[in-house]
Amino acid sequence: MTTLLRRRALRGRRGSLKEFPDMPLDILFEVFSHIEPMDLLNLARTSKPFGELLLHRSAASLWKQARQNVPGLPECPPFMSEPAFINLCFDSHCHKCLRPNIQPVMWAFRVRYCRHCKSGMIVMISQVRQILEAASPFRARYDVRELLISESEPWLRGRPLFKFHKADVETLVEAWKGSGAEVQEDIHSSQLALIKQMRDNADLCSKWQMDRKLSRSAEIDELKDARYSAIIAKLREFGWGEVIDDSPWSVWSRLRGVRGVRVPKQLTNRSWQAIETSVLQVMEALKSAKNAVGHITDLPSFPQPSNDMHTPGSVPTHIIRVLLPWNA
């Protein structure tokens, strides 16, 4: 009977948000102003009414507000729409085949491509010259890099290999077809200004992405270290303080290899129960080694950690304070 009531209650709630797009705009805009950019993009993709509402020009302020909810995110460049910029920054799908979890962003080209699609969407500089010269009888007088934004990588004898985005080349060719000297000069001037804007934006976005990655990495390390500190506190409660104090480095090196110890999650009673047996087995082995020779000598020693960073083989400073409270 209880299960039946739950199912009926669930059916009653299904579709309860279908009228959401018809709510007063001031209420919707107030709600949407507090969400993250990717959440707003997902809402726009949820249904046609949401798409029509959020992708309309009148909703531009919503996207700007969503961007401001992300610290350090650069301004949307003038050559991109707000939704397209948010999609580039936060949606990790390949822009061609929609393969998920594509982390690298080609900021200069404003795209994400998987390895398979990337090979077909990149054009070398020699190919671009041939395409432009074929599009107009007037021979190009300009460096291709002054007409299109490019990315480069080291090549033969340190010389850079310049690459261009196929979509950018196709757009330029449409304007270049049959053009004469005067038209090409106008194109050249406008493209120089556009390339500078793209380059500046690409540099800002690349820095933001790197800072975001480092921040997330530091956050994960803090969560892992806090979990390890909680495990050590548990072990001290169970009377393992002497073994911990005798050789904190060995404890650290053995415990970090136990599955579930170095996890970026808070230690709960349930998670402790899942790893308790394995952790205690490690502590018993360390205690046996200590009893056999008077101290633990069968494990490798580790370098002293610095105050500002730690390597994979060292112990963070605040972990030392947990293991060796007299050093605090």
Helix, strand, coil percent values for the chain (each to nearest 5): 60, 5, 35
All residues at 6 or more sequence positions from 55 whose CB lies less than 8 Å from its CB, including other chains: 44, 83
Rounded CA-CA distance 111/151 in Å is 13
Rounded CA-CA distance 88/107 in Å is 9
pLDDT 10s per residue in the chain (328 long)?
Answer: 444 444 444 444 555 556 666 777 778 778 888 889 999 999 899 888 888 888 888 888 889 999 999 999 999 999 999 999 999 999 999 999 999 999 999 999 999 999 999 999 999 988 888 888 888 766 667 888 999 999 987 776 667 889 999 999 999 998 888 778 888 889 999 999 999 999 999 999 999 999 999 999 999 999 999 999 999 999 999 999 988 888 888 898 899 889 999 999 999 999 999 999 999 999 998 888 877 665 544 444 444 444 444 444 445 544 444 444 333 3
How much is the pLDDT for 138? 60
Q: Considering just the CA atoms, what is the radius of gyration of the chain in Å? A: 29
Q: Where are the domains of the chain?
A: 20-91, 116-208, 211-327
CA-based end-to-end distance of the chain: 59
CA 180 to chain centroid, in Å, comes to: 45
All residues at 6 or more sequence positions from 244 whose CB lies less than 8 Å from its CB, including other chains: 232, 235, 236, 251, 323
Single pTM value for the model: 0.73
pLDDT in tens, 32-77: 888 899 999 998 998 888 888 888 888 888 899 999 999 999 999 9
Residue 133 neighbours by CB distance under 10 Å: 13
pLDDT in tens, 90-112: 999 999 999 999 999 999 999 99
**C-beta pairs of 78-84 under 8 Å, 24+ apart in sequence:** 78/197, 79/194, 79/197, 79/198, 80/110, 83/41, 83/44, 83/54, 83/55, 84/110
Contact 144, 191 (CB under 8 A): no
Q: Dihedral sign for Cα 314, 317, 318, 323, please.
A: positive
Angle of CA points 68, 72, 76, to nearest 5°: 60
Rounded CA-CA distance 218/68 in Å is 22
Rounded alpha-carbon distances, angstroms, from residue 150 to 55, 109, 169, 308? 30, 8, 11, 38
Where b means 16+ CB within 10 Å and e means fewer, 265-290 reads eebeeebeeebeeebeebbeebeebb
